[in-house]
Amino acid sequence: MKKAIIIGGTSGIGFELAKILLANGYKVGLTGIENTIIQDLQNSEQNNLEVKYLNCLENEPSKKIKEFIEIVGGLDLLILSAGIGNLNRNRGFDAENKANQLNVLAFTEIADYSYRFFENQGHGHFIAITSVSGLFGSCVAPAYHAAKSYQITYLEGLCQKARKARLAGKAIHVTDIRPGYVKTPMTEGKKMFWAATTEKAGKQIYKNIKNKKEFAYVSRRWLIVAMLIKALPNWLLIRV
Ligand SMILES: NC(=O)c1ccc[n+]([C@@H]2O[C@H](COP(=O)([O-])OP(=O)(O)OC[C@H]3O[C@@H](n4cnc5c(N)ncnc54)[C@H](OP(=O)(O)O)[C@@H]3O)[C@@H](O)[C@H]2O)c1
């Protein structure tokens, strides 16, 4: 039985992916920070599901992931879905710095730890949920867009490493999932267009994971937006 861990898996996109993986015969380990949700999931006694409290802002989340891998009984797939969004109320440095600690620092620690774990093991698949937001800067949420941009560039590096590892005979894969808008707790009350349900997003993400894509836009139509953004010259992009 394949084993998957989803960091930030107790709600939204991560939770939807957990349901899909369970339905497809995986043993799944979920982490989150809402104790009541964690308690409810633990009490549900769902087969092949382990749930653990993991605040990525606390010291060395990778040590807790290491312990969790032992509880789950191994690791083939790690999905990093935890993220802080909604930084759109000009909240200043304190709020942006807290978000950066998750979206940049914890992201880097977990990505690095997972990649090295898979490299030592000789196989494995690391998936992170970034965003179309990482393709351009925005006055609405500067830190969020900058952090997602960092994540995308970091994952490009990991994809290169994984390609070299595969040439050396190790079945290591890295996937960057870039959603446009998805209806989740993070986007509640937000004005959105082309917003996918978590069900639709989950199905598309799972397909991309199975196909071991290096990156994918979710829903698929956001590829058009991405291509437009990339085609625009920078002087025009910052005026849009
Ligand atoms: N929804 C969209 O339109 C959209 C678009 C582009 C990208 N994304 C990205 O998709 C990912 C998932 O977001 P979502 O929309 O599914 O939102 P969500 O439901 O709010 O999920 C965010 C997850 O992150 C977890 N989390 C928050 N702070 C954490 C911390 N300090 N330590 C550990 N976990 C923490 C939350 O745990 P709890 O549930 O326990 O609080 C939750 O499971 C994020 O990286 C987000 O940036 C979302």
How many whole angstroms from 198 Cα to the centroid of ligand 1? 12
Contact 219, 196 (CB under 8 A): yes
User: Residue 109, class by beta-carbon neighbours within 10 Å (0-12 exposed, 13-18 middle, 19+ buried)?
Assistant: middle
How many whole angstroms from 51 Cα to the centroid of ligand 1? 16
Residue 202 CB partners (closer than 8 Å, separation 6+): 13, 16, 17, 19, 20
Q: Is the peptide bond between 131 and the residue preceding it cis, with omega within 30 degrees of 0?
A: no
Contact 126, 115 (CB under 8 A): yes
CA-based radius of gyration for the chain: 17
Q: Give domain 3-237's CATH architecture.
A: 3-Layer(aba) Sandwich (3.40)
How many whole angstroms from 156 Cα to the centroid of ligand 1? 21
- Mutate which of 13, 101, 177, 222 to test ligand 1's pocket (most atoms within 8 Å of Cβ)? 13
What span, in angstroms and rounded, lies between the C-alpha atoms of 131 and 194? 14
Does ligand 1 come within 6 angstroms of the Cβ of 55? yes
Residue 95 confidence (pLDDT): 85
- Which atom of ligand 1 is nearest the CA belonging to 9? 43
Number of other CB atoms surrounding residue 63 within 10 Å: 11
Does 91 score more than 80 pLDDT? no
What span, in angstroms and rounded, lies between the C-alpha atoms of 84 and 70? 27
How many whole angstroms from 7 Cα to the centroid of ligand 1? 9
- Mutate which of 56, 86, 97, 186 to test ligand 1's pocket (most atoms within 8 Å of Cβ)? 186
Does 88 score more than 80 pLDDT? no
Torsion of CA 149, 154, 157, 158, to 10 degrees: -130
Tell me the pLDDT band of 143, cut-offs 50, 70 and 90. very high
Contact 52, 29 (CB under 8 A): yes
Tell me the pLDDT band of 59, cut-offs 50, 70 and 90. confident
Contact 137, 185 (CB under 8 A): no
- Which atom of ligand 1 is nearest the CA belonging to 33? 40
What ranges do the domains of the chain cover?
A: 3-237
Does 231 score more than 80 pLDDT? yes
Residue 75 confidence (pLDDT): 98
Contact 128, 92 (CB under 8 A): no
Mean pLDDT value across residues 202-224: 98
Does 86 score more than 70 pLDDT? no
Mean pLDDT value across residues 159-172: 98
Does ligand 1 come within 6 angstroms of the Cβ of 29? no
How many whole angstroms from 81 Cα to the centroid of ligand 1? 6
Does 9 score more than 90 pLDDT? yes
CA 78, 83, 86 angle in degrees (round to 5)?
160
How many whole angstroms from 82 Cα to the centroid of ligand 1? 4
Mean pLDDT value across residues 155-178: 98
How many whole angstroms from 170 Cα to the centroid of ligand 1? 30
Does 145 score more than 70 pLDDT? yes
Tell me the pLDDT band of 129, cut-offs 50, 70 and 90. very high
